[in-house]
Amino acid sequence: MSRMLALAFHASVVTVLFPRTVSESPNAVRELAGRAARLSTLVTALAGLGVVTLGPQLLALLYGSEYRGASPVLRVLIIEVVLSGAALVLSQAFMALERPGVVTALQIAGLLLTVPLMLFLVPRFGIWELESHFFSLQLCD
């Protein structure tokens, strides 16, 4: 369900943004990419809030009642879609300015961090404990 948000919003923006910015000046590219990133991220985040709110019901409707328990994971995936989609839209500015090496270096750095952290954190904390720790609010006494 989280991937539907990525396809509906960020992927649509990327399809139009890159061809539009290729022949523009660097300032115009930055302005267009920034505006596109802000708007698409806002719309995706609002739609994501709707999916999170209706998550258990949507999971039960689409996949069956035994998937209701996956709603905490859905929240994490929605956050991931919003953030990675914003990065995808912003990366189009580097591509349009003929600097794909910057995007490649950032993706390699992300991969080099993600794989070891997942291998370390998921077995240690588990997916449910990690998610609940991440989203819990501790009030100070």
Q: What is the mean pLDDT of residues 96-123?
A: 89
Does residue 129 sit within a domain?
no
State the Cα–Cα distance between residues 56 and 74, nearest whole angstrom.
9
Question: Which tens digits make up the pLDDT trace of 23-76?
Answer: 889 999 999 999 999 999 999 999 999 999 998 898 889 888 888 888 888 888
Residue 32 domain boundaries: 2-97
Does residue 132 sit within a domain?
no
State the Cα–Cα distance between residues 19 and 125, nearest whole angstrom.
44
Better-predicted residue by pLDDT, 48 or 131? 48
pLDDT of residue 102 exceeding 80: yes
Q: Whole-model pTM?
A: 0.75
Does residue 41 sit within a domain?
yes
Does residue 88 sit within a domain?
yes
Where does the pLDDT of residue 109 fall: very low under 50, low under 70, confident under 90, or very high at 90 and above?
A: very high
Does residue 61 sit within a domain?
yes
State the Cα–Cα distance between residues 113 and 138, nearest whole angstrom.
28
User: What does the CA dihedral 10, 15, 21, 27 come to, rounded to 10 degrees?
Assistant: 0
Does residue 71 sit within a domain?
yes
Does residue 141 sit within a domain?
no
| Total domains in the fold of the chain | 1
Does residue 135 sit within a domain?
no
pLDDT of residue 125 exceeding 90: no
